[in-house]
Structure formats: structure tokens, C-alpha cells
Amino acid sequence: MLKIERQQRILALMQETNAVTVRDLAQAFSISPITVRRDLLELGEKGLLARTHGGAVASTEVLAEGNARYEMYNYAERHHQQSAEKAAIAECAAQYISDGDSILINAGTTAHALAQALRGHQDLHVITNGLTVAAAAGQSRLAHVYVLAGRLDTRKQATIERADNDTLSGIQIREAFLGVHAVSAAGIFMRDSEDAAMNRAFISAASRATVLADHTKLKAYASFRICAWDNVQRLVTDPGADPDVVAAIRAQGVDVVISG
């Protein structure tokens, strides 16, 4: 496990527990206490935690991110967060979609913004597990919209299904466009394993994958990695994105596009 990924998982754990101990982290990640202390020291220097005797407690910033994970279930509230950035990202991403394309768009508010940005396209075949995405894409009489079957999750306005099902078998998808919960140099992440597994299946079913993430996602923490960047061709984000994270992602061969 890369150091940056391990540190991200430490922060995700702290969102849930508020505090961690060196012993517990060493056991959880099968690493030495010395390595844990180095990680905690680096995270402390970044202001993300405060060291305690034998461990650490989360900073206000990390706890705020942890609280935000529960707010995600209020779809209406999330829809209004960073709405301008999401709209700009969506308009930018729409330029990479041509008339007649078959694309997959996952669920979420950024994905919904992309579906709205496709209103000028023709003869699109849109596959999605997002109910609001399907509704937005379906407003165009020139689009063919397919909603993936699965268990309805009203909190996410999406259908959820196991990644090992055959829902996507036999379907040719040119590109998957994915909104995610967190982005780092280590890859793209979701806050629960079910979402991560399903989005991993989406990437496997497509020839290319584009990630849509506003700048707050580059500062967020989530526990479950969808994949590393070698499985993603493009990231579309906004001008507020952390330049260090952007540079680290570009160094891995990903086309990072900054919306106007």
C-alpha cells in the first residue's frame, strides 16, 4: 500500500472514530509502530490531526469532512453544493461526448449536471444507475436512456447492484463518466464498499473512463478505493483544485482538464 493511500485511510478512519492509537493502526495496516508514528507526524504537520500520547485525534477539518459524509444522503442539499463548479465541469466534459455515442454516467449530483449539459447532443445512448441522471437525460427526445436494474437507494437517488452481476455483460460502452466522493494521487474513492465495487464494474465495462470532481473532492477523504489512476484516462475538475494533487495525477499519465 502506498504511503499516500495509507494516510488517506488513516484520515477516513479518524472521521469515523475521532481518535486512533498507534497500536491499532499498526495492526490494521500490518506495519510497524515507527511507520505509523511517521504517518501521524506528517499528517499533524499538515494540520489534519493532533498528536496524543499513543495516538492522535482528528482536526476540525477532518471531522467536518466526516460529518459531510452523512449529509451526502440528503440529495437535495448536495445538489446545491458547488453547483457552479459542477455545472462548469459538466459543460467541459460534454465536449468529449459526440453525437451517437454510447456512454455510462453513474449516479450523483455532478453526474446529474453532466446529463443536463448533454441537451444539445443527438442520438446518445446513456446508461446510468442514477434516477436524476436518467430524468435529466430523458428530457431530450434525441437520447436513448437505459436505467440499470438493482436495489433502489433513495438516499442516493440510485439503483445499487452487486459488482459481480451480469447487468453490463454484452454492453459496449465507449466511455464511463463518474462522479466520486474523493480524489487523491492514489486514485479515486467512494465512502462505501458497495458504491466502490459498482463503479469499478462501470470502469471495466467501458473503453475509457473520465472522472468528474470539483475541487472539494481533492480535499476529501473516503475509505474505499475504486481504482488507481492507471485505469482512468481523464479527470475534469475546476480551477480551485489543489495544484500539488493535480500535478501528482498528471505525472501518472492522466489528462487533467481544468474547467473554464
Q: Find out whether 59 and 40 touch, Cβ atoms under 8 Å.
A: no
pLDDT in tens, 90-141: 999 999 999 999 999 999 999 999 999 998 898 999 999 999 999 999 887 7
Q: Has residue 71 got a pLDDT over 50?
A: no
Q: 3-state secondary structure string, 37-98? A: HHHHHHHHHCCCEEEECCEEEECHHHHHHHHHHHHCCCHHHHHHCCHHHHHHHHHHHHCCCC
Global pTM reads 0.74
Choice between 156 and 101, residue whose per-residue pLDDT is larger? 101
Q: Find out whether 259 and 236 touch, Cβ atoms under 8 Å.
A: yes
Q: Has residue 173 got a pLDDT over 90?
A: yes
Q: In angstroms, rounded to a whole number, what is the distance separating the alpha carbons of residues 36 and 148?
A: 42
Write down the number of H helices and E strands in the chain: 10, 15
Q: Which strand (E) or helix (H) includes residue 175?
A: strand 173-179
Mean predicted lDDT score pLDDT of the chain: 86
Please return the burial class of 116, using the count of CB atoms within 10 Å of its CB with bins 0-12, 13-18 and 19+: buried
Find all residues with CB under 8 Å of 202, minimum gap 6, and list them: 104, 106, 168, 176, 178, 209
- Ordered domains of the chain (ranges, CATH): 3-71 (1.10.10.10), 75-258 (3.40.50.1360)
Choice between 152 and 167, residue whose per-residue pLDDT is larger? 152
**What residues does 178 pair with on adjacent strands?**
211
What type of residue sits at position 137?
A
pLDDT in tens, 199-254: 999 999 999 999 999 998 987 878 789 999 999 999 999 999 999 999 999 999 99
The whole-number pLDDT of residue 101 equals 94
